[in-house]
Structure 1
Amino acid sequence: MVKRILVAFDGTDQSVDALEYAASEWPDAELVLLTVIDPSEAGFSAGRGVPSGAEEWYETMKAKAEGTLADGAALVDREVETVTEVGKPREAIVEYAEADHVDHIVVGSHGRQGFSRIVLGSVAEGVVRTAPVPVTVVR
């Protein structure tokens, strides 16, 4: 029985579809919306130190993530937990699922970095390959 579902949510149409699917498919399960702040989007890398403006960039991205999650939570007619993680999206999704007792993961076929195509986005593909629980990919 599925009790706790993690929905990877970045505000894209695919993540909205994933959320709506999860909410309708498992109406009694607890929903957790997870968004990931990826420092590589700002050009930060290991060994370079913290660039000037990194803290401001992080605060801006955190506020944006919170807004995205609030928008997502408003789409479903029930209470949801919202979580923001920092890191590489695939790794953050899988690590959260492992650490926080998730029974199932739902992801969109591609997200912010993707474009419409036949193959899975790299994050969705990575989650499918490495997740400790079943994964549903919504297209």
Structure 2
Amino acid sequence: MSKSLSKKGFTLVEVLCSLGVFSIIFICMMSFDKASINMKKDIKNINKDVLIMEAIKNNIIYSMTFKELQQLEISKSFFVNKENMDFDKIKANVKQVFSDHTPTQNPYIELSLIKDELNVYKLKLLLHSGQTNKREELQCNFYKGCHE
């Protein structure tokens, strides 16, 4: 009679152990799924920011003249704030998206100009994104010259 009682206890322990193993595996799967969703969201934001930087770069290279770049340098308009990081605004007039006020919130784009003696600007677009504790910066370097 004592053998049957001990088997019932072992059966209960086996069920509890299997539930414990199942719950541990389930929690691990859910945490991996959550991490995957967060990574997809971050990748989507980075891709969007890269496309915006590329649009600004292409509009500076192909739409702006050398004199317009000089005017940007004189007016010290080197920043694109979050509200102006829009494809329609960039395509309409890329000069209008730049301002001289340093943005306080991320993301924003900073333009730096270095003029060479041969009428060539070395331009650097620097995108600041992320939170203050986890700051990310994307950089794009290119040249624009006076070919007159």
TM-score category of the 2 structures, normalised to the smaller one? under 0.3
The TM-score normalised by the length of structure 1 is 0.23
The TM-score normalised by the length of structure 2 is 0.22
Instruction: Give the number of the structure whose residues are more often helix, by fraction.
Output: 2
Q: Bigger relative contact order, structure 1 or 2, given CA contacts below 8 A and separation 6+? A: 1
- Structure showing greater radius of gyration is 2
